[in-house]
Amino acid sequence: MPDPENKIPSVWKNKEFRALIFLRFSLIFALFMQSTSVAFEIFRVTQKEIYLGLIGLFEFAPILFTAFYAGQLVDRKDKQKMTARTIGAFMVASFVLMTINFPSVQQRVGTTVYLAVCYLAFFILGLTRAFSTPAVFSLLARVVRRENYEKAIPINSSSFMIGAVTGPLVGGLLLAAVGIEITLAIAFLMMCVSMIAIYRISPKPPEESELSSEETPVQRIKEGLKFIWATPIILAVLSLDMFAVFFGGAESMLPAVVEKVLNAGAVEFGWLRSAHGIGALSMMLILSSVPILRTRVGPKLLGSVAGFGLCIIMFGLSRNFYLSFLILMCGGAFDAVSVIIRQSILQYKTPENLKGRVSSVNSIFVSSSNELGAFESGVAASLLGLVPSIIFGGAMTIVVVIVIALKIKAVRHVRLE
C-alpha cells in the first residue's frame, strides 16, 4: 500500500517519492551521457550512419522478445527489489562500455572487436530496460497515491527530462575536454548513485490481487494484451507513439548531422543532443502549474505529435547550428506535452494489477519508436541520403497523426477521471 505519508498534500514531503525522483534523474543522466558519448565515438571510428542505426537495433531486439514476460513478472514481484536488480545490470553494461572505450584498449582490440563489444553492451542495456521500465512505472504507483498522480507524473517526467538534458550536454563538454574514458567513468559513478537511492525506498511487495491469480505467465501476458486491444484509447496512445516517433528518429543521426551538415564538433553535438530535452523540460515546468489534463486532452495529444513532426522537417532543412538548436528545442516542447498526456492516460486507464503488463507493452511500443526508429533512420540515411531521410521521417510522422485521428475516434474524445 502507498506510504501514509502521502496524505500530506505536497508530494515532495514524501521521502520515498524524493528518492525515486533522484534515482530516476541520476540513472537517466548516466544512460544519456553514456549513449551520447559512445554514439559519437562509433561515428568517429566508422564514419557511416548505418553503424549509428545498429545501436538502436541491438537495444530494441531484446526488448521485443522479453518485455511481455518482464511485465507479468514485475506484477508478481517486489517493485523496489526489481528496480534495484535492473540498476545492477545497467552498471554491468556501463562498466563494459567504459572499459572498451579506453583508447589503449580500443586500439589493442581493433575496430571489429570494439564495435562487437559496444553492440553487446547495448544489447544488455536493452534487455535490462525491458525489466526496468515496468518496474519503475509500477513503483511510482506504489509510492504515490492515485489522487496525487496529476502532481507526481509531471515531476516524474521532469526528472527524466532533466537527466536527458544534462546527460548529453555534460557528455559533449567532457568529450571535448577530457576524452571518452573519463566521460564514461563519470556515467558509471552516477549509476552507483542511483543504486544508493533505490535503497532509500522500502520494499514494495506485490498486492494480494497480483498474487492470487493462478494463471500461467502466458495467460497473464494474454490478459494484458486483451485489455489493451479492448481499450481503444490505450491502443491509440501506444500506436501513436510507436508509428509517429518511429519516423521521427532524426536525433539518432546527430553525430552525422553535426559533422556532415553543420561542420561542428563534440561541444556542439552535446548542445544539440540536449536541445530536445531543454525544450521538453521548459514545457514540463510550465505544465506543472498549468493543468492540461482537464479539457480537450485528445486534440492536445494529436496536435503535439503533429508539431513534433513539423519540427523534424524544419530540422532537416536547417544548415545553421543555432537554428537547428532552436528547432530541436521546439520539438522537445511538443514532445513534452505528448509524454505527459500519454503517461497520464496509461496511469488513469490501467487497473493496478495490470500496470506492469501494460507498461511492458508500452516499452515495446516506445522502443519500437526510438531504438527501431534509430535503425530505420540509419538505413534511410544510407539509401536516401542524410537530409532527405530526415525530411521524409518528419512528413511521415504527420501522416501517422492524421491516420490515427481519423481511424480511432476515442483518442479525440478521451477524458481523464
Provide the pLDDT for residue 165. Answer: 83
Contact 132, 86 (CB under 8 A): yes
Question: CA dihedral defined by 81, 167, 48, 383, rounded to 10 degrees?
Answer: 80
Distance from C-alpha of 38 to C-alpha of 170, rounded to nearest angstrom: 14
Whichever domain contains 284, its CATH number is 1.20.1250.20
The number of C-alpha atoms within 13 Å of 13 and in the hemisphere containing its C-beta is 9
Answer whether residue 212 is part of any domain: no
Answer whether residue 43 is part of any domain: yes
Provide the pLDDT for residue 342. Answer: 79
Q: In angstroms, how far is the first alpha carbon of the chain from the final one?
A: 21
What is the separation of C-alpha 104 from the centre of its chain, rounded to a whole number of angstroms?
A: 32
Provide the pLDDT for residue 34. Answer: 95
Domain assignment of residue 107, given as a range: 11-198+217-412
Answer whether residue 3 is part of any domain: no
Report CA-CA distances (Å) from 42 to 58, 119, 303. Answer: 14, 10, 35
Cell of 114: 570494439
Distance from C-alpha of 144 to C-alpha of 45, rounded to nearest angstrom: 46
- Residue 373 has phi, psi (to 5 degrees) of -65, -35
Cell 556532415: give the residue.
260
Output the furthest CA–CA distance in the chain (Å, rounded). 60
Contact 163, 29 (CB under 8 A): yes
Answer whether residue 2 is part of any domain: no
Which residues are CB-neighbours of 215 under 8 A, at least 6 positions away? 223
Cell of 26: 541520476
* DSSP designation for 379: H
Q: Give pLDDT < 70 ranges for the chain.
A: 1-9, 67, 208-221, 291-295, 356, 359-360, 363-369, 415-417
Answer whether residue 203 is part of any domain: no
What is the separation of C-alpha 142 from the centre of its chain, rounded to a whole number of angstroms?
A: 21
Domain count, the chain: 1
Answer whether residue 286 is part of any domain: yes
Provide the pLDDT for residue 8. Answer: 44
Contact 397, 244 (CB under 8 A): yes
Question: CA dihedral defined by 41, 130, 398, 348, rounded to 10 degrees?
Answer: -140
Answer whether residue 380 is part of any domain: yes
Provide the pLDDT for residue 398. Answer: 93
Distance from C-alpha of 33 to C-alpha of 27, rounded to nearest angstrom: 10
